A and B are shown apart, each in its own frame.
Chain A
Amino acid sequence: MAIYLLVRILGGVVTLFCVSALAFFATALAPGNPAAVLLGNLATPERIAAVTEQMGLDKPLPIRYAIWLKEMLQGNLGTSNLSFKPVNDLVLAALPPTLELAALSLALAVVIAIPMGLILAQNRDRWWTRPLSGLVTLGISVPGFWVGLLLIVVFSMTFKLLPSGGYVPMTRSVSGNLRAMILPVLTLAIYLIPSLVRFVRVTAANVLREDYIDTARAKGAGAWRILLQHVAPNTLIPTITYIGLQLGVLISGAIVIEIIFSIPGLGRLGMNAVLNRDYPVIQGVVLLAATGYVVVNLLIDLAYSLIDPRIRTR
């Protein structure tokens, strides 16, 4: 058990190291000189050379990577080429909206999708699950932002009930914060729900075919008891892993949602950085996203080993 966790943590560290290398070299090897971008129409060959040297871009790549890695390990992500603010500050300021958006959407998706998937599986032979399953399939093929735009049109433009975008920090106004978050969270959740419902439905349908479900039936257990005590736990274990793997989808979805609803989160920060070749910020955002991915999956592994006796008691 301890060894299992140690292996997982080591794996996470190795992953992060690879991502950091990827983030660095992908941006460093991208065509175009950041110095030239930075200078814009002020650029002359002399100025470019000067700024290049000032930014340390004239040194060989491995050395630049070593310097960057050293700084990064000390918690210093560098300075934005665009605003000259420390990347740390930019990223930290953009983190809360993204975290809030991701956490609320995921929570909403889980709360809706898991019961729905279980019930669809339990009643897979009833007529009324057909249209619902059809809706789920439709939902998987509809792009996430389309629903967001629709929601903006209905709730914000037609009925003027909710703001169409922006972000209110929770420290300023809790109700304002929540009001601003309703549409983005709803959009992202609707984007996440269909595939999660499908996964839960298929997994639960397979669990329902397991022999131990027959054992429970032969004991005289009723349908609800079987669903809650036998099917649900055995469905949740693979579902937790699936959610961990879906974090990438959550992150990319959050980027789109942040742009649609103009939320000043990591996605928007990263997007702007890409458009402006602001390499330190790009690297910072990528690194943070990857860390989040690795840490959450580590937590999931931990949860897994607590829930699943086959791992816990090994």
Chain B
Amino acid sequence: MSEALIDIRNLTVRLAGGRDAVLVDDVSLAVGKGEVLCIVGESGCGKTVTARSIIGLTRHDPRFSLSGEIHFEGRDLMRLGADELRQVQGAGIAMIFQDPMTSLNPLHRIGRQIGEVLTLHGKHSSTEIRRRTVELLRQVGIPNPETRIDDYPHQFSGGMRQRAMIAMALACSPSLLIADEPTTALDVTTQKQILTLIKKLKVDYGMGLILITHDLGIVAEIADRVMVMYAGRCVEIGAVRALFRTPQHPYTAGLLASIPAANRVRGERLPSIRGVPPILSEGRPQGCAFLPRCDFALGQCRNLPPLKASGAETDHLDRCWLTPEVKNQTLRRLQEGAQA
């Protein structure tokens, strides 16, 4: 990673109101210019809360209390006032959400919703805004953008709405795009198209990308680096090759083992991680939160392991007490056994 585009340090998000519910716990991550970081993990492990906190959606939400630092373009976003933060939102950092069916205002025309970003960030000439909006719609592959610009969201299909959301995100040429499961709500063929589009536009616009997904196939295809989250913590982070080849955390190994490989014998049972993750709003077990589900647990695991490098690469970090031998051989075998 060259120079960091965004550098997040010790991001912690708690539920406000006295309850000891930590939704995101001490997460640090950095994304370089043009780099793709994927965040993976089971449902409810804090991926969305992390993403929303990066772009500042949880900052002024009284339900959450945040701490940590988010360095972006020379400033700590956590220290910005509401007005300064708004200048970054939509311009420097943009976000695409999971459900395109509900992410657009049903009463505003598509063009107006895309144009709103331009208006908010300084463009005022309506002909210029319209010209740019048509251009954006064309770039995201909407046919007849000159006429579709005046459509309402309900006249768009799900895939087209997500394209419109992407156009909206690109409007001000952000340097970081956050996409929270942008294809989960779409059908399979549309999923592929949208992903290809994001990949292409990321290169065209030279953006850094934080992509949240459940699909490890997508991760293998697009990611430069991967962060694995469990129960609000980063349990493993590293370059995609290193992390896929030599997973250092049993949770990562479990996730990788549960990918249905193309060459799998039909009818053979797909390994899955037993048990379910804790519900974060109700608190977590002490120490390593994965302990109750882990096949390799030690007595030590009642204490929280630090995030440290134990594999070959120095930027491949994990939060697990197991010895390097176990990590590098057993976990790897577990994963390869599943793939074979």
B residues 66-111 near A (Cβ < 8 Å) are: 82-83, 86-91, 94-95, 97, 99, 102-109
A309 adjacent to B154 (CB under 8 Å): yes
Q: Separation in Å of the A123 CB from the closest CB of chain B?
A: 10
Q: In the bound complex, what is the Cα–Cα distance between A308 and B152 (angstroms)? A: 10
Say yes or no for B240: interface residue by CB 8 A criterion: no
Main SS at interface, chain A: helix
* Interface locus among A70-78, A90-98, A166-174, A209-217: A209-217
B152 adjacent to A218 (CB under 8 Å): no
B107 adjacent to A308 (CB under 8 Å): yes
A215 adjacent to B97 (CB under 8 Å): yes
Which residues of the other chain, A, contact B91 by a CB distance below 8 angstroms? Answer: 220
A313 adjacent to B152 (CB under 8 Å): yes
Say yes or no for A234: interface residue by CB 8 A criterion: yes
Q: In the bound complex, what is the Cα–Cα distance between A230 and B152 (angstroms)? A: 14
Say yes or no for B284: interface residue by CB 8 A criterion: no
Give A124's nearest chain B residue, CB to CB: B62
Which residues of the other chain, B, contact A310 by a CB distance below 8 angstroms? Answer: 106, 152, 154
Say yes or no for A32: interface residue by CB 8 A criterion: no
A219-B120, A220-B120 as given contacts; A214 in contact with B104, CB under 8 Å: no
A221 adjacent to B62 (CB under 8 Å): no
Say yes or no for A46: interface residue by CB 8 A criterion: no
Say yes or no for B138: interface residue by CB 8 A criterion: no
A309 adjacent to B97 (CB under 8 Å): no
Which residues of the other chain, B, contact A40 by a CB distance below 8 angstroms? Answer: none
A125-B62, A309-B152, A309-B154 as given contacts; A219 in contact with B105, CB under 8 Å: no
Q: Separation in Å of the B58 CB from the closest CB of chain A?
A: 10
- Determine which of B57, B86, B106 lies in contact with A214 in the assembled complex, contact meaning CB atoms within 8 Å: B57
A216-B105, A309-B152, A313-B152 as given contacts; A222 in contact with B86, CB under 8 Å: yes
Flag B29-65 by CB within 8 Å of A: 1 or 0 each.
0000000000000000000000010010100001000
Q: In the bound complex, what is the Cα–Cα distance between A76 and B108 (angstroms)? A: 48
- Determine which of A125, A211, A309 lies in contact with B107 in the assembled complex, contact meaning CB atoms within 8 Å: A309
Q: In the bound complex, what is the Cα–Cα distance between A210 and B108 (angstroms)? A: 14
A125-B62, A309-B106, A309-B107 as given contacts; A218 in contact with B95, CB under 8 Å: yes
Q: How many residues of B contact A (CB 8 A)?
A: 34
Which residues of the other chain, B, contact A313 by a CB distance below 8 angstroms? Answer: 152, 154-155
B168 adjacent to A219 (CB under 8 Å): yes
A residues 277-314 near B (Cβ < 8 Å) are: 307-310, 313
Say yes or no for B121: interface residue by CB 8 A criterion: yes
Q: Separation in Å of the B89 CB from the closest CB of chain A?
A: 4
Give A215's nearest chain B residue, CB to CB: B103
B57 adjacent to A217 (CB under 8 Å): yes
Q: Separation in Å of the B113 CB from the closest CB of chain A?
A: 8
A220-B86, A221-B86 as given contacts; A212 in contact with B152, CB under 8 Å: no
Q: Separation in Å of the B220 CB from the closest CB of chain A?
A: 28
Q: In the bound complex, what is the Cα–Cα distance between A234 and B108 (angstroms)? A: 10
Which residues of the other chain, B, contact A212 by a CB distance below 8 angstroms? Answer: 102-106
Q: In the bound complex, what is the Cα–Cα distance between A308 and B55 (angstroms)? A: 31
A residues 140-189 near B (Cβ < 8 Å) are: none
Which residues of the other chain, B, contact A215 by a CB distance below 8 angstroms? Answer: 97, 103-105, 113, 165, 168
Q: How many residues of A contact B (CB 8 A)?
A: 24
A218-B94, A220-B121 as given contacts; A234 in contact with B105, CB under 8 Å: yes
Say yes or no for A233: interface residue by CB 8 A criterion: yes
A210 adjacent to B102 (CB under 8 Å): yes
Q: In the bound complex, what is the Cα–Cα distance between A230 and B105 (angstroms)? A: 7
Flag B101-142 by CB within 8 Å of A: 1 or 0 each.
011111111000100110011000000000000000000000
Q: Separation in Å of the B50 CB from the closest CB of chain A?
A: 15
Give B155's nearest chain A residue, CB to CB: A313
Residue of A221, A308, A313 with most partner-chain B CB within 10 A: A221
Which residues of the other chain, B, contact A225 by a CB distance below 8 angstroms? Answer: 120
Flag B209-231 by CB within 8 Å of A: 1 or 0 each.
00000000000000000000000
Which residues of the other chain, B, contact A220 by a CB distance below 8 angstroms? Answer: 86-91, 117, 120-121
Which residues of the other chain, A, contact B94 by a CB distance below 8 angstroms? Answer: 218
A309-B152, A310-B152, A310-B154 as given contacts; A219 in contact with B106, CB under 8 Å: no
Q: Separation in Å of the B290 CB from the closest CB of chain A?
A: 30
Q: Separation in Å of the A301 CB from the closest CB of chain B?
A: 17
Which residues of the other chain, B, contact A218 by a CB distance below 8 angstroms? Answer: 55, 57, 89-90, 94-95
Q: Separation in Å of the B84 CB from the closest CB of chain A?
A: 10
A211-B97, A211-B102 as given contacts; A217 in contact with B89, CB under 8 Å: yes
Residue of A214, A217, A218, A237 with most partner-chain B CB within 10 A: A218
Q: In the bound complex, what is the Cα–Cα distance between A211 and B89 (angstroms)? A: 16
Q: Separation in Å of the A225 CB from the closest CB of chain B?
A: 8
Q: In the bound complex, what is the Cα–Cα distance between A222 and B82 (angstroms)? A: 9
Q: In the bound complex, what is the Cα–Cα distance between A234 and B105 (angstroms)? A: 8
A220-B91, A229-B116 given; 9 more Cβ-contact pairs under 8 Å:
A212-B103, A212-B106, A215-B168, A216-B116, A218-B57, A219-B168, A222-B86, A229-B108, A234-B106
Q: State the 3 A-B residue pairs at the shortest beta-carbon distance, nearest first.
A: A220-B90, A219-B90, A220-B89
What residues of chain B have their CB less than 8 Å away from a CB belonging to chain A?
A: 52, 55, 57, 62, 82-83, 86-91, 94-95, 97, 99, 102-109, 113, 116-117, 120-121, 152, 154-155, 165, 168
Pull 24 A–B residue pairs with CB atoms less than 8 Å apart, ordered by A: A210-B102, A211-B97, A211-B99, A212-B102, A212-B106, A214-B52, A215-B105, A217-B57, A218-B94, A219-B117, A220-B88, A220-B89, A220-B91, A220-B117, A220-B120, A221-B90, A229-B108, A233-B107, A234-B105, A234-B107, A307-B107, A309-B107, A309-B109, A313-B152
